Amino acid sequence: MASTAISLESVNKRYGSTVALDSLNLQVEPGEFFVLLGPSGCGKTTALRIVAGLETPTTGTVRIGDRVVNDIEPKDRDVAMVFQNYALYPHLTVRRNIEFPLRARRVSSHERERRVMEVAESLQLEDQLNRKPGQLSGGQRQRVALARAIVREPNVFVMDEPLSNLDARLRVEMRAELIDLHLKNGTTVLYVTHDQVEAMTMGDRIAILKDGVLQQVGTPKDVYDRPANTFVAGFIGNPPMNLMPGELLGEPGMIVGIRPENVFLDDNGSIETRVTLVESLGHEHHVACRLNYDNETIVFVRVPSTVSQVPGIGESIRLSITEPLYHFDSVTLERKAIKT
């Protein structure tokens, strides 16, 4: 077995003068659920399409298993892709959609039928086989798209924001289904999303990209507890980490980071602020406050719903903080050390 399932080595992608990927290095282990996370336009979909073979890198090497696949046709890479908008063929029934890749590979009709039924059963699509995609709900369509990918029994799945078109509740359901599916068949998954909750809940490891540059790779706990720089610190976590100018052991030129759950409403606290926004989510409240001494910095506080007195907008409140504090260099924006 290959030591890595997918490997990108110094991969660059340019469109004219625009740099979509800048010297990207990534190694995905076999059987891993690997998430590429970042804001729109960060290059995550480009990286995915390069792995699938739908784009060619400007420079760099792409391996799937032991093979360098730069010059290998997409169909011969043994990669199945799931698209954000499902990419189902609207004129074909669910059955024909699922068996579409098998027909291309000239699989016998008997074998086709067996595999379609097997996949349809595992995704609860048996009753929908003779319907057209237009007659299905969003969740069912995404299941058909998954079925079409799974039926190929590929080495690698690549998924491009497959849950973004679903409503919030369905998304949570499908998230669980995808994890379950991955646990069952153990195939390597490269998954692109801009939703940090998806990344944190589904990924074995997460790679965070910004402007085509890899910021950090690590387990969800790693990137949350030990963010490599202010971008990762601000991108992971909701509300985002509070970042403000500060100092470390007397050394100025630092940015200090504090997670909102480490900031508390405290009548005896040393930080004086004024409330600018309160968002109530039911199980907790997110309170945004402006520092009195520095009118520009907003501090987010996570207030559990068990706290009876939630401050109102415009109210002056005092805050206290607990560790951990994060320290970032104000020039390189990289994390210096953790003081715990």
Partner 1 sequence: MRTSVRTALRYVFLIIIALVVLFPIYIAVVNSLLSGQQIAHRPPTLFPLHPLWNSFSLAWSFGHLGTYLRTSVIVSVLTTLAALTTSVLAAYAFAFLEFPLKRIMFSLCLATLMVPAEVTIIPNFRTIQILGWYNTYPALIIPFAASGIGIFLLRQSFRQLPRELHDAAVLDGYGHWRFLVRVVLPLNRAMIGAFAIFAFLSSWNQYLWPLLVTNSDSHRTVQVGLRQLEGLNPDQQNIVLAGTILAALPIFLILFIFQRQLVRGLTAGAVKG
Instruction: Give Dmax over CA atoms of the chain in angstroms.
Output: 76
Give 248-255 contacts, CB < 8 A, sequence gap 24+.
Answer: 248/327, 248/336, 248/337, 248/339, 253/329, 253/330, 253/331, 254/327, 254/328, 254/329, 254/330, 254/336, 255/230, 255/327, 255/328, 255/329, 255/330, 255/333
Task: Note whether 80 binds partner 1 by CB under 8 A.
Answer: yes
Spatial distance between the Cα atoms of 128 and 98, rounded to a whole number of angstroms: 11
DSSP, collapsed to helix, strand or coil, labels residue 193 as strand
> Applying CB under 8 A, what is the total number of residues that bind partner 1?
22
From candidates 5, 6, 33, 53, binder to partner 1 by CB under 8 A: 53
From candidates 68, 104, 197, 277, binder to partner 1 by CB under 8 A: 104
What is the arrangement of strands in the sheet containing 242-248, beginning at the earlier edge strand? 242-248, 251-258, 325-329, 335-339
Structure-token pair, residue 215: 């910021």
Task: Note whether 91 binds partner 1 by CB under 8 A.
Answer: yes
Q: Which stretch binds partner 1 (CB under 8 A): 32-40, 88-96, 114-122, 325-333?
A: 88-96
From candidates 74, 138, 234, 240, binder to partner 1 by CB under 8 A: 74
- Tell me, rounded to whole angstroms, the distance of Cα 170 from its chain centroid: 17
Number of C-beta neighbours around residue 122 at 10 A: 17
From candidates 3, 10, 25, 85, binder to partner 1 by CB under 8 A: 85
Task: Note whether 89 binds partner 1 by CB under 8 A.
Answer: yes
From candidates 58, 70, 83, 310, binder to partner 1 by CB under 8 A: 83
DSSP, collapsed to helix, strand or coil, labels residue 247 as strand
Task: Note whether 100 binds partner 1 by CB under 8 A.
Answer: yes
The type of residue at 159 is M
**From the CB of 190, what's the least distance to partner 1, in Å?**
13
Spatial distance between the Cα atoms of 33 and 185, rounded to a whole number of angstroms: 12
Task: Note whether 307 binds partner 1 by CB under 8 A.
Answer: no
**From the CB of 50, what's the least distance to partner 1, in Å?**
13
**From the CB of 115, what's the least distance to partner 1, in Å?**
14
**From the CB of 127, what's the least distance to partner 1, in Å?**
24
Q: Which stretch binds partner 1 (CB under 8 A): 89-97, 189-197, 208-216, 264-272?
A: 89-97
State the residues that interact with partner 1 by CB under 8 A.
49, 52-54, 74-75, 79-81, 83-85, 87, 89-91, 100-101, 104-105, 148, 152
